[in-house]
């Protein structure tokens, strides 16, 4: 299935989504402050072999706002509603950063919908120092809005070389962050800041094939976090990409796609052998 006008697709509940390619369904969940457009490199590199479903999470892009008091369960339920709308009984879910938290919540709340799981550049078990830092950024967002700490974020997310070589891309990300709904961004950022240990003692219940992947130089979603998370999920694989920072799906799509394609192809081959 290919979508000619991806931004025009919405579920009855108000989730904006796009679909590209054909094959085994794979859902892409973006990070806080971003939207489904962040996955351009993955669409270019993977849509020839997989059906890629990207969507705007609650409070982002063209999707509806989260309800007052919304938690990660509501973000997981948004994905379930999307899959029901598309009549997709099972999919592999790839969650980046905040999307990784949503993917974890989805895996625990709706395991029957899941054929595979990738948690990319996501947080787990922050130290006290890391927690204080993200809480301070949350207070800045509450006071000044989504653009409050954008310059510092871009420095953490991208290498100096990429920022210098791709100023138009960096400016587009800056604009995307600044144009977010204050309410939706703050609610989502608050969950991102506070839920790194969401149901951590139940991660052993995740039984689907899982890949946990991050960048060597990702200061917010560190290799130690990825390794600890993978140890908590039975049979999970952990990969740390050398010299990569937080936004490695955008900065280094070919390298990231190589690892995703290997994982997804193995899943697809296993599914076919069982048919």
Q: Sorting pLDDT into bands at 50, 70 and 90, what band is 8?
A: low
DSSP single-letter state for residue 196: T
With b for 16 or more beta-carbon neighbours within 10 A and e for fewer, the 169-181 pattern comes to bbeebeebbeebb
**55 within some domain:** yes
Q: What is the CATH number of the domain that holds 200?
A: 3.40.50.1820
Q: Are 151 and 140 in contact (CB under 8 A)?
A: no
Q: Which two tokens stand for residue 194?
A: 């506070």
Rg (CA), the chain: 17
In angstroms, what CA-CA distances link 199 with 20, 58, 135?
Answer: 32, 21, 20
| Model pLDDT for residues 19-58, shown as the tens digit of each residue | 999 999 999 999 999 999 999 999 999 999 999 999 999 9
Q: How many CB atoms lie within 10 A of CB 256?
A: 24
The answer to whether position 133 is within a domain reads: no
Is residue 267 a contact partner of residue 163, using CB atoms and an 8 Å limit? no
Question: Which residue range is the domain that position 219 belongs to?
Answer: 6-125+196-274
**Residue 188 burial (CB count, 10 A):** 27
Contact indicator for 86, 53 with CB cutoff of 8 Å: yes
Q: What is the C-alpha to C-alpha distance for residues 262 and 27, in angstroms, rounded to an integer?
A: 16
Q: What is the mean pLDDT of the chain?
A: 94
pLDDT attached to residue 2: 38
> What element of type H or E holds 33?
none
pLDDT for res 269: 82
Banded pLDDT at 109 (limits 50, 70, 90): very high
To which H or E segment does residue 6 belong?
none
Lay out the sheet containing 91-96: strands in order across: 9-10, 16-20, 50-55, 24-29, 91-96, 114-120, 210-215, 237-241
Q: What is the pLDDT of residue 147?
A: 87
In a domain, 105, yes or no: yes
DSSP 214: E
Evaluate if residue 270 carries a pLDDT over 80.
no
Say if 228 falls within a structural domain.
Answer: yes
Joined together, the tokens standing for residue 61 give 């892009």
Q: Is the distance from CB of 238 to CB of 212 less than 8 angstroms?
A: yes
Number of H helices, E strands in the chain: 11, 8
Note the pTM of the prediction, 2 decimals: 0.95
Look at residue 98 and tell me if it is in a domain: yes
Residue 107 forms part of a structural domain: yes
Query: What is the total count of domains within the chain?
Result: 1
Q: H or E segment at 268?
A: helix 253-274
Task: Convert the pLDDT of each residue in 223-235 to its tens digit.
Answer: 999 999 999 999 9
- Residue whose C-alpha is closest to residue 117's, from 251, 260, 269, 216: 260
CB 97 within 8 A of CB 75: no
The answer to whether residues 191 and 72 touch, using CB atoms and an 8 Å cutoff, is yes
> How many Cα atoms occupy the beta-carbon half-sphere of 251 within 13 Å?
25
Residue 152: inside a domain: no
Quick one: CA torsion of 244, 38, 225, 27, rounded to 10 degrees? -130
Q: Is residue 24 part of a domain?
A: yes
List pLDDT tens digits, range 131-179: 999 999 999 999 999 988 899 999 999 999 999 999 999 999 999 999 9
């Amino acid at each position: 299935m290919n979508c000619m006008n991806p931004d025009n697709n919405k579920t009855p509940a108000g989730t904006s989504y796009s679909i590209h390619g054909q094959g085994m369904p794979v859902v892409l969940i973006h990070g806080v402050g971003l939207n489904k457009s962040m996955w351009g490199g993955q669409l270019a590199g993977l849509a020839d072999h997989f059906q890629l479903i990207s969507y705007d999470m609650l409070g982002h892009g063209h999707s509806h706002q989260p309800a007052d008091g919304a938690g990660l369960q509501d973000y997981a339920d948004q994905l379930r509603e999307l899959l029901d709308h598309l009549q997709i009984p099972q999919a592999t879910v790839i969650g980046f950063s905040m999307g990784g938290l949503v993917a974890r919540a989805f895996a625990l709340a709706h395991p029957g919908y899941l054929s595979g799981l990738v948690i990319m550049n996501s947080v787990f078990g922050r130290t006290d120092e890391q927690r204080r830092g993200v809480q301070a950024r949350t207070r800045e967002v509450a006071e000044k809005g989504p653009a409050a700490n954008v310059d510092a974020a871009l420095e953490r997310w991208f290498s100096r070389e990429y920022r210098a070589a791709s100023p138009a891309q960096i400016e587009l990300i800056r604009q995307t962050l600044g144009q977010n709904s204050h309410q939706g961004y703050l609610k989502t950022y608050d969950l991102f800041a506070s839920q790194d240990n969401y149901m951590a003692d139940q991660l052993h219940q995740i039984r689907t094939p899982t890949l946990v992947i991050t960048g060597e130089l990702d200061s917010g979603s560190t290799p130690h976090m990825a390794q600890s998370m993978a140890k908590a999920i039975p049979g999970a694989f952990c990969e740390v990409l050398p010299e990569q920072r937080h936004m490695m799906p955008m900065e280094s799509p070919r390298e990231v796609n190589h690892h995703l394609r290997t994982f997804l192809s193995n899943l697809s081959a296993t599914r076919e052998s069982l048919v």
